[in-house]
Structure 1
């Protein structure tokens, strides 16, 4: 029975490991939004805890990929994979899915953004990630494929997954299905409706003709650099844990030394035999009391190091 339980636990752990994304995946998602200037053009900040896989007609798109109007004409299939330890991705969770076009990088956002898709009350499907999406109600704005103006540069079509709390209240004009594609203030919509900030996002680009505008400079994301940065952060955390462990051991040694000194001082005020007995007992008692604490701190730090690695 025990062996069966162990095997089941190992299999469950293996399945869980395969159904989560790494810190590097999350860092890449965040970096793509920042280096494409979606942050700050559309979002003031972006701190994802899950990754979206966006597939059009069986072909999975990649961040920033240049796609054609015909390739993205139909609503995509989307799956969600949270990072390890992320919360809020269970069967009780409710989300809003939006696809918004903030135009080309660095474009003036004062007139708002184009809403290409908006649907509330979205649920996750599946007992484990990657989760599919269940659109439980009719879309406020049904999916409408990109069609940027000719010469307007590469538009960044951004798909976002936003947690929808129980007190969510859609603003007037965007509270019933059938609203056509149009411009709106995305940040104001999120704020006024009570939606939380997006926990996952994806974007691709569509362009028509030769650009007559000059987009702001953007840069590509280098995954190897991200891996090194994430590794450095983990190493720093491990070093901090090791330092805490060293301090705990040093504190234990100091306590032992202090106890010995106290015992030595008391020997001058008592008989030689009583002083010797007192010193030995005092030192043993003090060291015995402080050592478990040091060992606990050391073991705790060791767990932290193993996790960071």
Structure 2
């Protein structure tokens, strides 16, 4: 009888130790995932409002974290300017963990869209889709496996007036399945309904965003078919 009680006690101690280690591992993963500085989150929200991306592109923007992105090392920073030659290749995009969500089990979808295509004065081709990445996770998750659902399509502004190229991050619901959309194919990306896609997919957010500006130089515009100086994107005569 004493031996049986002794074995039960040893089993309980072992189980408690395993559970403690599991909790410790979970806590360690949680604490190793950095969250955004509230001032940076507030700055992003203010920049989106100032640039009128709310409501031109999205109806509201109340982010919980921040997204970092760059082209060949040049950081995208809430409205700074890029040239066409700087954005030929896909940007590097990452984001910090969202508070109150387990970074190791929560997936996100990232969009890069142009609300000003073909030119900001007459954006009849907006939203122009340049990239969708699904199953992304915060930068602290080194084992993540994001998927380029809509492969990167290089930026094609048709105006000297700069476009507001915008990166947005949305939280995916559990058991997420992306909607089927023919605009995943490069070359068929104009008039993408970002907000309609988000609603159909059940995505939540945006929980983070960033943007930059890009237009053609006057010299490049002069030799680019359909480019206009005034931002309409297409010649009117």
> What is the TM-score with the length of structure 1 in the denominator?
0.55
Is residue 213 from structure 1 mapped to residue 231 from structure 2 by the alignment? yes
2:168 corresponds to: 160
2:180 corresponds to: 172
Is residue 28 from structure 1 mapped to residue 28 from structure 2 by the alignment? no
Distance in 1 of aligned mates of 2:145 and 2:68: 17
Is residue 140 from structure 1 mapped to residue 149 from structure 2 by the alignment? yes
1:118 corresponds to: 132
Give the gaps of 5 or more residues in structure 2: 1-26, 219-228, 233-237
**3-state SS of the aligned residue for 2:44?**
helix
2:18 corresponds to: none
**3-state SS of the aligned residue for 1:198?**
strand
Task: Judge conservation of contact 1:117–1:141 (CA < 8 Å) in 2.
Answer: yes
1:102 corresponds to: 115
Question: How far off its partner does 1:174 sit?
Answer: 5.0
Task: Judge conservation of contact 1:26–1:50 (CA < 8 Å) in 2.
Answer: yes
Task: Judge conservation of contact 2:173–2:204 (CA < 8 Å) in 1.
Answer: yes
Question: How far off its partner does 1:66 sit?
Answer: 0.9
Structure with bigger RCO (C-alpha 8 Å, 6+ apart) = 2
Q: Number of aligned residue pairs: give it.
A: 193
Is residue 193 from structure 1 mapped to residue 201 from structure 2 by the alignment? yes
Task: Judge conservation of contact 1:123–1:133 (CA < 8 Å) in 2.
Answer: no
Task: Judge conservation of contact 1:79–1:133 (CA < 8 Å) in 2.
Answer: no
Task: Judge conservation of contact 1:89–1:124 (CA < 8 Å) in 2.
Answer: no
Task: Judge conservation of contact 1:103–1:156 (CA < 8 Å) in 2.
Answer: yes
Residues 172/77 of structure 1: CA separation in 2 closer, same or farther (3 Å cut): closer
Looking at CA atoms only, which structure, 1 or 2, has the larger radius of gyration? 1
Task: Judge conservation of contact 2:95–2:139 (CA < 8 Å) in 1.
Answer: no
Q: Structure 1 or 2: larger helix share?
A: 1
Question: How far off its partner does 1:109 sit?
Answer: 6.0
Task: Judge conservation of contact 1:114–1:181 (CA < 8 Å) in 2.
Answer: no
1:218-272 C-alpha deviation (Å, 9 max, x unpaired): xxxxxxxxxxxxxxxxxxxxxxxxxxxxxxxxxxxxxxxxxxxxxxxxxxxxxxx
Question: How far off its partner does 1:133 sit?
Answer: 8.9
Among 189, 211, 222, the alignment partner of 1:203 is 211
* Coordinate RMSD, CA, aligned: 3.1
Is residue 87 from structure 1 mapped to residue 100 from structure 2 by the alignment? yes
1:58-114 C-alpha deviation (Å, 9 max, x unpaired): 22221101100111111111221247xx12251101111110100179756675400
**3-state SS of the aligned residue for 1:75?**
coil
Distance in 2 of aligned mates of 1:20 and 1:203: 20
Among 50, 56, 74, the alignment partner of 1:41 is 56
1:287 corresponds to: none
**3-state SS of the aligned residue for 2:150?**
coil
Distance in 2 of aligned mates of 1:53 and 1:154: 21
